[in-house]
Amino acid sequence: MSDDAIFREIQAKIDENPVMLFMKGTPQFPQCGFSSAVCQILDYLGVEYGSANVLASDDLRQGIKAFSDWPTIPQLYVKGEFVGGCDIIREMFETGELRGFLQDKGVLVAA
C-alpha cells in the first residue's frame, strides 16, 4: 500500500472517531503493556474510543509512525489532534490534566 493510501486510511479513522487509539491488539485483548495501560486509563475515565490494531497490518504499523512522526505505539488522537503515547497519556492522567483536556474537547462528560 502506498504512503498516500495508508495516510488516507489513518486520517479516515481519526476523522470517524473523536477519540482514536492506534494500539497493539484490541481494547479487549491488548498485546502490549503500553497499549493496555492507555486502554485502562480511557476505560477508567469512561471515554468512548475507536481503536486500530497495528499488528494486523505492517502498512498500518509503519504508516502511523510516519503519519505522526512519532516512533512508538500506542498513539492517541483526540478530535484530530495527536496527544501522545503511553508515557504522555499516563503522566496527563496522573496529574489530572487528561480529564480536563478530554472535557475541554467535549469527549468526556464532567464527573
What is the pLDDT at residue 111? Answer: 58
What is the pLDDT at residue 1? Answer: 73
Superfamily covering domain 3-104: Glutaredoxin (3.40.30.10)
pTM for the structure as a whole: 0.95
Phi, psi of 101 (to 5 degrees): -60, -45
Task: With a cut of 50, list the residues of the chain below it in pLDDT.
Answer: none
Q: State the residue for C-alpha cell 516512533.
A: 71
